[in-house]
Every structure is written in structure tokens, then in C-alpha cells.
Structure 1
């Protein structure tokens, strides 16, 4: 089958013929219909994340925001059948550890990141496998476009889990989103759907315009202000700061700006992962966080059962992940789209739907 193959850090990826995945007894094999192209693919392509134990080796097939039709089913699988349309969390879980049993499969003790390790290839390919399918294969309701499902992928799912479950966004709360790439725009959309009053922060006017279309009430362009946190606070009642602030990019500046945008008792949500510049370490105003009782939360992916909430909100017209999809591409275009993300010029979510 054809697949996009990683050749080494910052080396051009190539489309090659590779062996199709085998079906494990507890797994399924899926014929790919669509797969989002994520900034995490760019991180992996550049060689980031060795500081968290991910070492990308040549031969990897990336792609972790997939949807497709099941074509093979293992003997031990009971919940999924041939012909079902499915997606999967990118951080696959085993369903048995203490976190899985508590409904937090996204932080499974044996979590496997799809497309970032050799034994779990990704979906920039004609077919992809899902391990422990009764746990990880999520059936898609009828009538939902595969491109929209790929759009909710890693970025939308992570934003939804973070904004809806990790922090407390109530109707009328003020929410700042720092960085309006795919995950940031997803956070804007989710926060607006939950009744938050959103302030979107980005240096790109096209991204800010899209944020406004997705519900942002105010926008701040850091290139046009001297003090980003103060500019954000001016968008809130009595300039007290926001109730929730999201760093959806992961660089040191956006993380600190997010924490410093908070009101007393506010909650910071970290979604963006750092780059080689930070290597996982960012200095923060700890004393102010203590005296103001600001809280710091992380969001990593989403447990499988929360997809049902997203589908219900989609059915009710409250969420529309497809609005964040800005282009569809072919498998041959994936390498160039991934490598182009180094200039932060991508607006919204690109999705590959031609294999």
C-alpha cells in the first residue's frame, strides 16, 4: 500500500509502497478515508520531543487524526464489525490500568501514541491499524462527513477535553486563547459553545479573523501591543483578567502570557507542547501564582468515551469541527504541508482525503 514515510529529522518525507498492517487478535485494520495534518507531525518531523522519550526513527508512518472503514477484525473484538466507520484517539490505551478504569484512558499507563512509534503506524497511508479495538475504535454516527471527523482529531479532541473537562468554563466566563492554530481555534470554538466570552490572541490576522468567525468576542495581536497580558485584561470587566486562559501554542512567551492574563483564582490550561527552544521547560511567575491562587492544568488528548459528547453537541448544532478544516489535500502533498508548518503560516486544519 502507499504511505508517507519519515526519512529522518527535517529530511523530506516520501510516498512509498509499504507492507499493509496486519490485524492483531484484539485489533482492527481500517481503510483510510481522511486524516488531519497536525502540528504534532511537524514537531515529530523536526526531531522534537526526545526530552519526553519520543525518538523518531526513519521508516515511521505519521498521521494520528484518522477516520475510515473497518476492513479486518480480530477474533477477540466484539464491539466493531467490518464496514463500521471509526476513528480513534491518537493516544491509544489498553483499557485495564487504573486510569482507564477511572475513565481517563488518555493518560493510560501503557499509552501508545499513534504514528510516533514503529509498532503503531499512523494513517498517512491507505490503511492503518487500531490496537485494542474494543477500547480505542470509536464508531462514527451516520451522516457525519469523514473530513469533519478528521478535523476533530487530535487538536479538536484535546481542546474539547481541556476546555470542557480539565478547567471550569461556565456561561459568562472570560476565556483567553493564546495561539490560534488548529488546536487554538478548536479551543475558541469549544469555549464559545460552552458560553464563554473568548479573547483570541495571535500574530496572524487571518487566524484572528477565523477566531472571530468561530465565536471570539475580542482579539489581540501581540505584534501591535507592548504588553499582551495587559491587553487581554483590558478586554475583561474592570481589567481584572480572564477566568480561564489557554496556551494553545507551547512556546515560552505564550505560556507566560497565558498565566499572566489570569484573574485571581483563574485557571491556566496548557495544550501546546514545547519546541526545541524550550525542551519542555518554561519559567513561570510562581509567587504570583501562589498569592493569586492561579491554577495550572494540562490536557493531553481525550479519553474515548468523550467522543459521544462531541457527537451529541454536533448533532445539536453547538459544535462543528468541519468549520476549522481549511483545505483538503492528497497523500503526495502531505510532506510539503508538514514541512511548511515551521513558519506558523497554516490557518485552521489541513486534511488529507486522497489516498
Structure 2
């Protein structure tokens, strides 16, 4: 088969590799029907995730058709169309029993495209298939369901739920890429009074308005702090969500929060970010971090199939699988191309 293989920082290739095979009774081999590229893949290519070594097939999001299952698999069978989650879960360890699947101690967590070969390929081996795949509902568009592999549960769990968004809150989302937009969309489910999106690109701020932000600030031209304080009687936002993964974005998220506010970091950070405790120790703030657990995927699936969430609006570009090099170029130049999520299909 062919796959997108990482060969060290800045190096990747769509090339021939061996087909995946069942290596554990709980495995499934899935034919990839639709797959996408994540901002985390770009962080890997920058060298921000040193655990990913040369020769690794990238990718952790897919919708596909089960080709083969191990003898221990009980809930899926060949021919089933499934969502392949970005998180695999053994289902029995301490953290899995607490629904903290991202911290799985039994060989799961974020493995695909990280510690084992991933989904940016014609076929993928999925460990713990019973607990790491979700059936695609009849009539659901695969590209819509694909958004549930990572970005929607990540924005919802690590941003909105960790940030404790409540009715009437003022929420500031720093970064209006796909993850930030997921946080905007998820925050709206809790009836905040305002959702403020902050980004450097006007095109992404336009998208943020379409996804539910009622105030946008381009921080290449305007300081968001006076804007947020003017809206909140000088206090700051109740909840800020960092969705970029660079030091400036994290420091901005902290500065925008009110005393007693909650700051939810989603971004994948490859460099240190300053936390000015000499200023913050007295402000009663709460800072959360996290890897998505995907416990919310079934709930979000119901919201998509019920029409409450329009996941398809994330998809801006379509490619064939063999066009991975072009898809990466378009996705990496999001400011110039307007790309949110690119979808590659057979």
C-alpha cells in the first residue's frame, strides 16, 4: 500500500510501505475511505513532537471500512464503516475506567501517527478496535463524521468542558483555526453571552463569525485586551481558550482572563511559554491542560446526526489520497488558501 511517511523534521513522502496486519487479538485492519490532516501533524513536521521518529506513517483521524478483525474483537466486523478515533483505549486500566482514555496505561492513548503507524495511508491497523472505533450512522456523511475523530471532541472537551463554560459567560478563544473554531461551536452549546475570537488572519476571523463568534479581533492590528475589558466592565473574560500552541497565544489567554477566570490550554506546545506568577498568583485563576479523551464522541455524533452541529462546514478542500503532498501544502498555508480542514478520499 501507499502511505504518508515522516522522515524527520520537514521531511515526508507518499510512498510504498508494507500492508498492516493483525498483531493482537483486539486489532482491526481498516481500509481508509476518508482521512484528514491535523495541526498536530504540522507540529510533528516542525520537530515539536520528538517521540515521532523517522519512518512513522502520520495521521490519527479517519473514516473507513473494516477489512479484517482479530479473534478478540466483538463489536465490529468486516464490512462495517467506522470512525477511527484519534485516541485508542484499552478500556480496562485505571484511566480508561475514569474515561480518561488519552492517559491510557494499557497501550492506548494517542498512538496512531505518534507511537504506531497512523491513518494517512490506504489501510491502517487499529488497536483495541472495540473501544477505539465508532459505527458511522446510516445516512451520515463520512466527511462530517470525520470531524469527530479529533477536532470536535478536542475543542469541546479540552476547551469548553475543561474551561467550565456556563450560561452567560464571556468566552475568548485565542486562535481561530479548526480547533479554535471547534471551541467556538462547542461553547455556543452552553449559551454564553459573548464569544470573542482572536486571530492574526482575517479569513479565519470571518470563519469564526460563521461558527458562532459575535466579536472578532485581529491581534496583528489590535490589542484584544482593551476590547475584552471594555465588554466586561474592566474585568476580563470568564473563560479563555488557547488553541494555537505558541507562547504568545498562551500568554495572551492568561492576560485576557478575569480574576477567578478559567484558562483552558488546547494548543500543542513545542517551546516554553512564560507564566508570570509574580502577576497571577493573587488572581485566583485556574489553568487546565489536556489531551482529548474522546469520551464525548457519542454525544457529538448524536448532535451531528440530529442537525444541532454542522460539522461539514469545517471542510474547505477535497483531494484524492494520492494528492497528500498537495493537500499538506494547502493546509500548511491556511492563511493564504483559507483552508480549515482538508479531506482526502479514495
TM-score category by the smaller chain?
A: over 0.9
Equivalent residue number for residue 27 of structure 2: 27
Equivalent residue number for residue 352 of structure 1: 344
Equivalent residue number for residue 258 of structure 1: 253
- Tell me, in whole angstroms, the C-alpha distance in 2 between the residues paired with 1:168 and 1:104: 17
Cα-to-partner distance string for 1:124-165 (whole Å, 9 max, x where unaligned) = 111111101122122222221111122233222211112343
Q: Aligned to 1:338, which of 328, 331, 334?
A: 328
Equivalent residue number for residue 216 of structure 1: 213
- 1:8–1:45 Cα contact (<8 Å) kept: yes
Equivalent residue number for residue 152 of structure 1: 148
The Cα of 1:291 is off from its aligned counterpart by 1.4
3-state SS of paired residue (1:188): helix
Structure 2: runs of 5+ lacking an equivalent: none
1:16 aligns with 2:15: yes
Cα RMSD (Å): 1.8
User: What TM-score does the superposition give when structure 1 sets the normalisation length?
Assistant: 0.90
Q: Aligned to 1:325, which of 292, 315, 335?
A: 315
The Cα of 1:113 is off from its aligned counterpart by 1.9
- 1:36–1:153 Cα contact (<8 Å) kept: no
- Tell me, in whole angstroms, the C-alpha distance in 1 between the residues paired with 2:228 and 2:324: 36
Structure 1: runs of 5+ lacking an equivalent: none
- 1:188–1:214 Cα contact (<8 Å) kept: yes
- 1:29–1:72 Cα contact (<8 Å) kept: yes
3-state SS of paired residue (2:71): coil
What is the aligned residue count? 340
The answer to which structure, 1 or 2, has the higher relative contact order (CA under 8 A, 6+ apart) is 1
User: What TM-score does the superposition give when structure 2 sets the normalisation length?
Assistant: 0.92
Equivalent residue number for residue 283 of structure 1: 274
Cα-to-partner distance string for 1:267-298 (whole Å, 9 max, x where unaligned) = 001001123xx2xx211122443311110011
Cα-to-partner distance string for 1:293-334 (whole Å, 9 max, x where unaligned) = 11001131223x421110122233221221111111122332
- Tell me, in whole angstroms, the C-alpha distance in 2 between the residues paired with 1:342 and 1:83: 34
